[in-house]
Amino acid sequence: MSDVASPAAEAKGPSVAAIKIATIAVLLVVWQLIAVSGLLYKGLVPPPLAVAGALVTELIGTTLWRDLGITLFTSFSGFVIGSLIALLVGIWLGSSTFFRRAFEPYILALAGTPKIIFLPILFLVFGLGFESKIAKSAMSAFFPVVFSTIGGYLQIRLILLRVGDSFHLRWAQKVRMIYLPAMLPSLLVGLRLGLAMSIIGVLSAEIAYSDAGLGYRLMRYSDQFQIPSMYATIIVIFALASLVNAGFNHFQRSRLRYLERPGE
């Protein structure tokens, strides 16, 4: 516990980039050592080069892109549907204390429940095709977006709401010209989380029951014990999640910068 809060130790330390490179190198070496050590079942931890080879094979093939396209299509479709419903519900509950007090506890209760347990209902109602995956994606996106919308609406300055009333704006005009711009910082946080949840939701539904998509692909490789291809698929999925997250972060920052410009 020595030197608990002193910044001196950091001043002379390695650079951030060096730490990142060294960490990746150490992880690869450890991975290689585990692969050749014979500690685990043969083939369970293939060497990094074997996984890299499987990844290249996956990337140059056509079926990965088809599965990736299906997962992205179902995730984004559900995300759009779930977010739109959440936006409307969020504005409704945000603008009415009575209805918020009436229904928010139920939404809050469902939000904390693992959504995967609702999959049987979605399969029974929407079937085993892509419709149930879109519904799962919409359900996963709904909760973060509805709470960020309610939070965002409650933070709108009263004077802005009164300006809308004094100009006799229609509801749709108020949403477009007042609510959405004023709620944007809070809403974007919810949308980013909602998008991540949508992708995870679709992957879990594809694992549970599907004949296409990245989740299905992962399970097929796992069942067939094609371990390098399974690792390659996991890498693709994690890369997809990171890319979507980074892309939305970039969009979020650019929108917030635009809003903060003088005169906007």
176 binds other proteins (CB under 8 A): no
Residue 82 near residue 194, CB atoms below 8 Å: yes
Closest separation between CB of residue 169 and other proteins, Å? 25
Distance CA(54)–CA(74), nearest Å, equals 26
Instruction: Write the CA distances from 210 to 23, 116, 127, 207, 214, integer angstroms.
Output: 37, 15, 11, 7, 10
Closest separation between CB of residue 211 and other proteins, Å? 17
Distance CA(101)–CA(180), nearest Å, equals 23
200 binds other proteins (CB under 8 A): yes
Q: Where are the alpha helices (DSSP H) in 61-179?
A: 63-95, 97-111, 119-126, 130-154, 158-166, 171-174
Which of 25, 28, 124, 259: binder of other proteins (CB under 8 A)?
124
Closest separation between CB of residue 9 and other proteins, Å? 7
- Under rule CB under 8 A, which residues in 29-88 are in contact with other proteins? 40-41, 44
Instruction: Assign 213 to helix, strand or coil.
Output: coil
Closest separation between CB of residue 109 and other proteins, Å? 4
How many residues in the shown chain lie near other proteins by CB under 8 A? 64
Instruction: Assign 49 to helix, strand or coil.
Output: helix
Instruction: Name the site residues for other proteins (rule: CB under 8 A).
Output: 1-5, 7, 9-10, 13-17, 19-20, 23, 40-41, 44, 97-103, 105-106, 108-110, 112-114, 116-121, 123-125, 193, 196, 199-200, 203-204, 207-208, 215, 218-219, 222, 230-231, 234, 237-238, 241-242, 245-246
